[in-house]
Structure 1
Amino acid sequence: MTLAMLLPYRPVLGQPVLRRLLPGLATSALGDGLALVAVTWLALQLAPDGQRGTWTAFAVAAYTLPGAAGTVLLGRWLGGRSGAQLAGWDATVRAAALGAIPVAHLAGVLDVGLYVVLLAVSSLLHPWGSAGRFTLVAELLPQRHHLAANALLGVFGQAATIVGPPLAGLLIAWVGAVWVIAVDAASFAVLAVSYRLVVLDREAAAGRCLNGPAGAGPSRTSGFRIIARDRSLLGLLSLSFAFFFLFGPFYVAMPVHVTDDLRASAGTLAAYYTAFGVGSLLGGLLTGHLRGWPLRTTLAGIVALFGAALLPLGLGAPVVLSLPAFALAGLVWAPYQPTATALFQRRAGTVDLPRVLAANGAVTVLAVPLGTMLGGPATALLGARPTLLACAVTILALGLAAATAVARPGPAARNTERTGPAGPHDPQTTGPPDQPGPHDPPARVDVPDRVRPGAT
């Protein structure tokens, strides 16, 4: 890794609050990497014979989907909180709920039903926690460093998907899946303490409590309403949902393609996922260098290139060609979420940002599971390889349509999508005053294109 690759991340690493949080974030990311294997493995062990597939699906869904309900049900109480508070509460709930799993095991009361319930509780605040993490970035850093900070937080997760699963396999063989879940719980406890220290420090610096009045927050659906009023954000949310939804069938069709079409082993499937993970890690590290690129154009290009990179799989290319193409898909995939989050950070002020990001997370968290559900009947009807080809072609078409919408001139093109300093009275400005650093290019102003809902 060269010094030039790390250059965009120096301001992020130099921010005192974020620097103190990074060890906790890295620890919890590793815990999530372990959970990729442990959650499903423990479900298989606890489920009755003949029902393992059903309960494993329930466990995977419970570890992600309840957060969508939490976004709506808890919006009135959480919408006005600071970024560190939201992220800290999410980490606390995750640590407590996941920690209850090994406790229930020791007490002899853990069955598959209780296990799924505890997983569901652990995910209840997840969209709020993610929103809080990126809101804290907007609170602490000037706008021009948001993309690099978002990317750095994503790199932890991308690295964990490479290191976590094989490490989880070793730990499961040694101590059992329930104790790997315990390690995941402990990692979130470390993160919760880290966020709590940040909250205390910021309260002391401000000379007051950062909490708003209990129960005095905005309505439960205010984040959705803010997005609905902003064509740019509504288009971005629509693009993200469609992108993730169309990728969902890959989780069904890909294993079937490897086993039935390629006549290959599980090791070949693992090689594809490892190649994707390595590509996404490199893509995450490169994301910080994209800060001068127009955000909407970048997002449309990512979607189109991702679809193109998946075409070799759908066209039945041999492994020697489709494997590096899948790694390229991972490299292209990695910048999408940091770039999309940076656009949210620019369009919404810090007061609205937690609600807006939580609403975005509630919608997008449903996209991949819904697409995966579609993958079952599509694979059965069309076959694995045609399903992969259909997904690749539609993702490519989605990206091209979004790029066309971005390029279309309109009266709103006179609005500014800033990559440089923002006006001091602009209500959409987030982060502290933006002062140029010694390694930064001259400030510039990009002119965006407002697009219709459904495009970015």
Structure 2
Amino acid sequence: MFSAAPGLRLPGPYRSLFADRTFRQLMPVFALSDLGDGMTVVAVAWLALTLGPEGGQGALAGLAVASYILPGALGALILGRWMRLLPAPRLLVTDSALRAVLLGAIPLAHLAGWLTPAVYVGLLAASSLLHAWGKAGKHALFAPLLPEDQRLAANSVLSTSLWSATIAGPALAGLLAGLVSPAWIIGVDAVTFAVLALQTSRTALPRSPAPPATDRTQRGLSILRRQPELFGLLLVTWVFNLAFGPVEVALPLFVSGNLDAGAGLLGAYWAAFGIGAVMGAMALGAARRLPLWLAMLGIIGGHGIGMLPFAITDTAIPSLIGFALAGLVYGPYSALSFTLIQDRAPAGSLTTVLAARSAVLLTASPLGAAAGGFLLDRTSAPAVLVGCGALMILTVPVSIVVLKLYGSRRRRSQPLHAPAERATCTD
């Protein structure tokens, strides 16, 4: 797919996209890094289970998953004054180099016998501090490079790479975990970040436009608060991500404890979810024919229903099918939510709103993972997984009521001479 001579069978936009030499140089290392990140979905939690004390494995797994994500949200907020002054390539190289060094220290510490739970969590947390800025740099990298009509195709290729890594990465990690320690799988991810940093630093890229001097996150949050529908979308998505957070911690314990299986089956679960998500994303055209809010709340409820088969613990088949269904339903969610934001946000503030949204949403899944780890030491993995599904299902009627009440109050507070806002709580 990433050959130097793009095949003529590619559709027109992609043919011209892969004709760009710089894109061809960078896209393979992006895909490699995505694959490495896909492998850590299994490796981070599985290594925590091997390091955790008896009776405290769930808490350590939750803390490890949270520490691998949450500091990125803190870095997005705390370090913005300095990091937003850097051009996109520098952001990507700095984040990739930091992650290569600190994630690479995990297998070395394991080899030396120094990898205690505290060292492990500390290295994961430090490695993720700049990751929100690195991802922002990755997506902004091609803006000055590609004409506007090619950016959609570039974003599509980046998304396809991520979804493909969701399928292949966990499955590959599950196979490798039967041969080597999960610490070495994290080391492989570190190597992919080193390659990404090296290739990006060697590639000649045009200078990105200077960032604005204003605090984009604060201004974006202000816009979201003034738009009932966008603010409601942010809250609903935050709760959705919070409800999914414990799954990353409870699923490894479900596989190892209730099913008495290894990391290979854990990889199969995540691969099934990824395959379902890819198939669901292909159904985006059908989903867009529905009212957007109805479609998104339906996705949350359907995802929750897909989690309920985890109540069956004597065989993996029902929960594997349910998890694949959850992925299938989830597939269109991100595209639909971005469509709603693009439709409702002021055109000149779209990137500001998206930056603020990302900073807020980065906190949800880690908090859910930490809560899931706490609960796992007090209840069973199936109870946590089914509870996640129940919370998602409950989110739907609560969201409908809250969004309608919030939208009605906003409309009543408008002056009589003011034009009605386009944002409502239902499409």
TM-score when normalising by structure 2: 0.72
Q: CA RMSD, aligned part only? A: 4.7
**Which of the residues 160, 164, 169 maps onto 1:164?**
169
Once the two structures are superposed, the pairs formed by residues 286-301 of structure 1 within 5 Å of their partners are 286-287=283-284, 295-301=292-298
Aligned-pair distance for 1:154?
3.4
Aligned-pair distance for 1:26?
0.7
Rounded to whole Å, the distance in 1 between the matches of 2:184 and 2:380 is 39
State the aligned residue count.
Answer: 404
Once the two structures are superposed, the pairs formed by residues 106-185 of structure 1 within 5 Å of their partners are 110-112=114-116, 113-135=118-140, 140=146, 146=152, 150=155, 152-169=157-174, 171=176, 176-185=181-190
Aligned-pair distance for 1:311?
4.2
Rounded to whole Å, the distance in 2 between the matches of 1:143 and 1:317 is 52
Show the counterpart of 1:241. 238
Rounded to whole Å, the distance in 2 between the matches of 1:378 and 1:311 is 18
Rounded to whole Å, the distance in 2 between the matches of 1:378 and 1:246 is 13
More deviation, 27-36/249-258: 249-258
TM-score when normalising by structure 1: 0.68
Show the counterpart of 1:444. none
Residues 84 and 136, structure 1, Cα contact 8 Å, conserved in 2: yes
Structure 1 segments unaligned to the other structure (5+ residues): 1-6, 204-208, 414-447
Aligned-pair distance for 1:144?
10
CA 1:67–1:291: 2 relative to 1, 3 Å: same
Amino acid at match of 1:301: G
Aligned-pair distance for 1:98?
2.5
CA 1:372–1:51: 2 relative to 1, 3 Å: closer
Residues 248 and 367, structure 1, Cα contact 8 Å, conserved in 2: yes
Show the counterpart of 1:227. 224
Residues 302 and 336, structure 1, Cα contact 8 Å, conserved in 2: yes
Rounded to whole Å, the distance in 2 between the matches of 1:30 and 1:310 is 25
Once the two structures are superposed, the pairs formed by residues 164-313 of structure 1 within 5 Å of their partners are 164-169=169-174, 171=176, 176-196=181-201, 200-203=204-207, 210-212=209-211, 216=213, 218=215, 221-251=218-248, 265=261, 271-287=268-284, 295-313=292-310
Structure 2 segments unaligned to the other structure (5+ residues): 1-8, 412-420
Aligned-pair distance for 1:188?
1.5
Amino acid at match of 1:202: P
CA 1:404–1:177: 2 relative to 1, 3 Å: closer
Rounded to whole Å, the distance in 1 between the matches of 2:395 and 2:54 is 42
Q: 1:26-79 deviations in whole A, cap 9, x for unaligned?
A: 100111123234434555666788876655544333211111110111122234
Show the counterpart of 2:415. none
Equivalent position SS for 1:363: helix
Rounded to whole Å, the distance in 2 between the matches of 1:290 and 1:75 is 36
Percentage of identical aligned residues: 38
Show the counterpart of 2:103. 98
Show the counterpart of 1:39. 44
Rounded to whole Å, the distance in 2 between the matches of 1:109 and 1:121 is 20
More deviation, 379-388/394-403: 379-388
**Which of the residues 5, 30, 34 maps onto 1:29?**
34
